[in-house]
Structures are given as C-alpha cells and as structure tokens.
C-alpha cells in the first residue's frame, strides 16, 4: 500500500512486481512491457522512502516476487488487506469512517498531489506511464524525452510531501515552511 502511495503506479504493477525489476543501487524499478497496462516498458525512479520499504521487504528464497506469501505467486487477498486498512483508518480517525475509496484513488492522489506541488503534468504523466494526454498525437511524436531526472525529482518531492503528513514530528521541533 505504501508503494502504491509513494510511486503512483498501478495496483497490479505493484502487487506483481518482481525482484529482477528492482535495482536498489540505482534506485530504479523497471516495469517490463509485458507487465505494464499500456504495453510500454516503464522506468520508475524510487524515492528514499520507497527504497527503505523495499529494503525491508522480506525475501522468500527462490521467489521472484516482491510481495508473496507462497513464493510461487504474487500476493493475493488484496481486498482483505484493503478492508484491514479501512479499519485502521477508522480507528485512527476516532471511530469515524472516511468516505469509500479504492486503491486506484492512491494513483489519483499522486497525480493531484504532483499538480499541487507544481510538478509539470508532462512529468507526472511520464511518472505514471500515461501516454494519452500530454503525449498523444503530434506532441507525442516529437517529444521523445523520457524526463528521467525530472521524474526522479518529482518522486522525491512527492515522497517528501507524503512523509511530511504521515510522519509524526517531535513536539520540540518547529516545522519551517517556504
């Protein structure tokens, strides 16, 4: 769930991710064309918090999958995990449930958040492997720049934002704003 929130990638791409697609040294994840919804290979720059999550994922010997319980297939029971997350959110919210939501909403939150952080939409679309809006038609034919460094900066900015609202700040620290 945390990787969904931090990377903005599709649910199936995260839950079916394999270790051979992750390079912890270069902080990258390559979603192969066969695993990507649009059939295009996609490089995901990984932020520091995303790397920390991946470094903490237990590995089942011989399993190619990041998230697995059997070692032979990707994790399943995602709806049960989502239901448990909803319970935890309700408990943390003083017993009040939040409006119904889906895991795909984390992707929408990523895109909306990047817009709020003033990250150009072309960079955000490259970050989530969209080709329809900014890169369709003539513009897509001519603009072939992959924006890797820009996407890396966007992922880092988004991660800082997420961490700023999800990490408890000690009471003796005053948050500075720009």
Residue 137 resides in a domain: yes
- The total number of structural domains that make up the chain: 1
Q: Is residue 176 part of a domain?
A: no
* Mean pLDDT over each residue of the chain, to the nearest integer: 89
DSSP string for 21-80: GEETTTTEEEE-TTTSTTS--EEEEPPHHHHHHHHHSPPPTT--BSS-SSSSS----HHH
Q: Is 18 helix (H, G, I), strand (E, B) or coil?
A: strand
Residue 145 domain flag:
yes
Residue 127's SS3 state is helix
Selected residue with higher pLDDT from 68 and 167: 68
Q: Which of the 8 DSSP states describes residue 132?
A: S
Is the model more confident about 54 or about 69? 54
Contact between 121 and 77 (Cβ < 8 Å)? no
Name the residue range of residue 11's domain: 2-166
- pLDDT of residue 132 exceeding 90: no
Decide if 159 is inside a domain. Answer: yes
Question: Is 27 inside a domain boundary?
Answer: yes
What pLDDT was estimated at residue 169? 67
> Do the domain assignments include residue 171?
no
CB 49 within 8 A of CB 73: no
Q: Quick check: is 22 in a domain?
A: yes
CATH number at residue 67: 1.10.443
Per-residue confidence (pLDDT) for residue 17, from 0 to 100: 96
Residue 178 belongs to some domain of the structure: no
């Amino acid at each position: 769930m945390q990787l969904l929130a931090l990377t903005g990638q599709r649910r199936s791409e995260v839950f079916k991710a394999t270790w051979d697609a992750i390079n912890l040294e270069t902080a990258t994840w390559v979603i192969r064309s066969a695993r990507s919804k649009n059939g295009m290979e996609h490089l995901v720059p990984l932020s520091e918090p995303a790397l920390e999550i991946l470094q903490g994922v237990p590995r089942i010997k011989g399993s190619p999958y990041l998230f697995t319980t059997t070692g032979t297939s990707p994790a399943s029971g995602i709806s049960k995990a989502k239901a448990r997350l909803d319970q935890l959110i309700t408990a943390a919210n003083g017993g009040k449930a939040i409006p119904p939501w889906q895991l795909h909403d984390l992707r929408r939150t990523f895109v909306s958040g990047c817009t709020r952080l003033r990250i150009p939409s072309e960079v955000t679309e490259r970050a989530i492997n969209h080709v329809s809006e900014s890169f369709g038609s003539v513009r897509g034919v001519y603009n072939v720049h992959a924006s890797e460094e820009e996407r890396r900066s966007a992922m880092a900015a988004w991660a800082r934002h997420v961490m700023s609202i999800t990490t408890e700040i000690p009471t003796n620290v005053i948050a500075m704003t720009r």
